[in-house]
Amino acid sequence: MILLCLLLVSWRVALAGGDNACETTYGGTCINSVFNTCLSGYTAYLGGCGFQEMCCIPPFAKGTPVPPLRAGQCGVTFPEQLPPSRRIVGGTLTARGEFPWQVSLRSFTNNGQHMCGGILISEKWILTAAHCFDQNKNPFAWNGILGEYDRGVTDGHEQLVKLDTLVIHSGFSKDYGNDIAMLRMATSGVNMYSQYVRPVCLPDKTEMFQGVTCTITGWGASHSGGAGTRFLYKAQVPVISSEVCSYLMDRTILPGEVCAGQKMGGVDSCQGDSGGPMVYFKDGVWKVAGIVSWGYGCAASYTPGIYTNVAYYRDWIDTVMTYYTGDSRKRADTTGVLYI
């Protein structure tokens, strides 16, 4: 069945002209959005096609203009040509702009080095893991780097944002229960959006992920205890049931957690990936299913990774964004930290 779907998508994408061509200035081919998805490396664009169709746009060459974000739009990407593949913890190198919601969180107390990942969800808010701030909860001591790809150089696509508020879930515990936090950017706006900086979509609170194959991204270590990577990498992991996960981890998996990983290991998030995204593609856009939280080692067999279930916390996220954004927002204390 999977092979059949791949063949159908390949056939549809291969038809570049005629009635299958997208009515856009960016090229691409229309495919049925109900039964098919775009090939890896292609961008799904909801426009320029007919009913229940989406446009699959080939990878963009560097410098090619991209469509501006419409109001409220999220989860749409325009990656550059994919570079030669290099592997890390079962993953591969991403293309620039392939995951434009990925954030690098850096702490002044660690010489400005990358400490955790983050997830851009709006022009004002970054979603991440609460445990990233165990050693330093002062938001003014952190910066967020948007549009980051190669940590070894500055290529002009990066945007440094200052942070003024850290919101930690009031139920966060040292055993990683309720491992979710949000950072408010001090200065921001939709004008910061580009090919390399775009928000991901949030899932509905009723969304279920069991059996869904998701993508994890980050600059984390290639093995347990190792150093972080220079470039942004990605890997695919299937979501497994909480019952199976609880058995494998010898620990009850909480409703606010989701478990993902390969049975025989070899693919996983690792140190430095914490707080980063686990995303999935649905209805023509990318949505965030999980936040990298915890695990035993990295990529070991029968040892999946544990992610904070974003759908479970959707109401909490909406509450934070509603009451702590804008001129009438409630103020954090002088430390800039809130527990909600």
Q: Which residues are catalytic?
A: 131, 179, 274
282: exposed, middle or buried (C-beta count within 10 Å: 0-12, 13-18, 19+)?
Answer: middle
Distance CA 29, CA 227 (A): 41
Residue 238: φ, ψ to 5°:
-85, 140
Give the chain's count of helices (H) and strands (E). Answer: 3, 18
Distance CA 64, CA 47 (A): 18
Per residue, the 3-state secondary structure of 8-36, as one string, reads HHHHHHHCCCHHHECCCCCCCEEEECCCC
Burial 78-99 (b: 16+ CB within 10 A, else e): bbbeeeeeeebbbbbbbbbbbb
